[in-house]
């Protein structure tokens, strides 16, 4: 099976899995976020000039990285790694490929502590939206999801302060993400400060 076939098959599998089993109210950690991370992980892998096989494994990890949410909200990464392992074994991936993908999924656990370039790429892909134009919109989706999960309401000011604190402390790991997203991140920090000033 070629790389595109393996990626396509994994995408179809996870689409069905999330559609069937993802709990209601997952406004941020949904198929859109999964596709975002898959796209960003493979883009950064190519920008960092990784071998095609490693770019494919980053794609697979991006596709599976949040599947653990079907079982639990906090610390869902081990469950996601197990789901990926089970799927990859059935599909005939090599043990070394499975080990790499599981480690990539585990690297997205917060606080991020990636080891090596592939894990750094994975972490940057997971938080790619911090430097994008849709940051505020995606943040609203996360707020809605957290409010539902934690049965707690955030005021506009409270949420914007949480977002500002997080984005100010965050640093991208790879040269590619810094090149592509650092300017956008600075813009989003300015947007949040402006929104807080208006209140």
What are the residue boundaries of the structural domains of the chain, listed by start?
3-198
- What is the spatial distance between Cα 82 and Cα 194, in angstroms, rounded to a whole number? 43
DSSP summary character for residue 67 = G
Q: Provide the pLDDT confidence category of residue 197 given band limits of 50, 70 and 90.
A: confident
Token digits for 88? Answer: 């990859």
- Dmax (CA) for the chain in angstroms is 56
Classified as helix, coil or strand, 114 is: coil
Q: 52-64 and 3-21 helices cross at what angle (nearest 10)? A: 10
Residue 110 CA, distance from chain mean position: 11
Residue 80, pLDDT > 90, answer yes
Q: Rounded to whole angstroms, what are the CA distances from 170 to 1, 13, 15, 22, 188? A: 39, 32, 30, 28, 12
**pLDDT at position 99 over 90:** yes
**Annotation: CATH topology of 3-198:** Hypothetical protein af1432 (1.10.3210)
Phi-psi category of residue 172: left, alpha or beta, with phi > 0 → left and psi -120 to 50 → alpha: beta
Are the CB atoms for 122 and 65 separated by under 8 Å? Answer: yes
Mean pLDDT of 72-77: 93
Cα separation, 99 vs 95, in Å, equals 6
Distances from the Cα of 150 to the Cαs of 34, 80, 125, in angstroms?
A: 22, 21, 26
pLDDT in tens, 11-66: 999 999 999 999 999 999 999 999 999 999 999 999 999 999 999 999 999 999 99
For residue 99 the two structure tokens come to: 């080990």
pTM for this model (two decimals):
0.94
pLDDT of residue 129: 97
CA torsion angle 61 72 131 40 (round to 10): 20
Span of 90-104, 135-149, 185-199 with lowest mean pLDDT: 185-199
Phi, psi of 108 (to 5 degrees): -80, -5
């Amino acid at each position: 099976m070629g790389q595109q076939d393996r990626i396509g098959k994994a995408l179809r599998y996870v689409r069905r899995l999330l559609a069937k089993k993802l709990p209601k109210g997952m406004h941020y950690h949904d198929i859109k976020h999964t596709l975002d991370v898959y796209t960003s992980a493979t883009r950064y892998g190519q920008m960092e000039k990784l071998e095609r096989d490693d770019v494919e494994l980053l794609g697979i990890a991006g596709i599976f990285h949040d599947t653990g949410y079907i079982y639990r909200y906090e610390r869902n990464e081990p469950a996601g790694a197990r789901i990926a392992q089970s799927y990859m074994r059935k599909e005939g991936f090599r043990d070394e490929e499975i080990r790499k993908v599981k480690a990539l999924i585990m690297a997205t656990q917060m606080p991020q502590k990636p080891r090596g370039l592939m894990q750094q790429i994975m972490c940057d892909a997971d938080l790619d939206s911090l430097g994008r134009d849709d940051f505020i919109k995606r943040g609203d989706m996360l707020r809605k999801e957290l409010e539902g999960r934690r049965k707690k309401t955030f005021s506009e000011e409270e949420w914007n302060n949480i977002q500002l604190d997080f984005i100010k402390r965050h640093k991208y790991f790879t040269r590619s993400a810094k090149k592509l997203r650092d300017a956008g991140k600075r813009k989003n920090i300015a947007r949040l400060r402006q929104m807080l000033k208006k209140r």
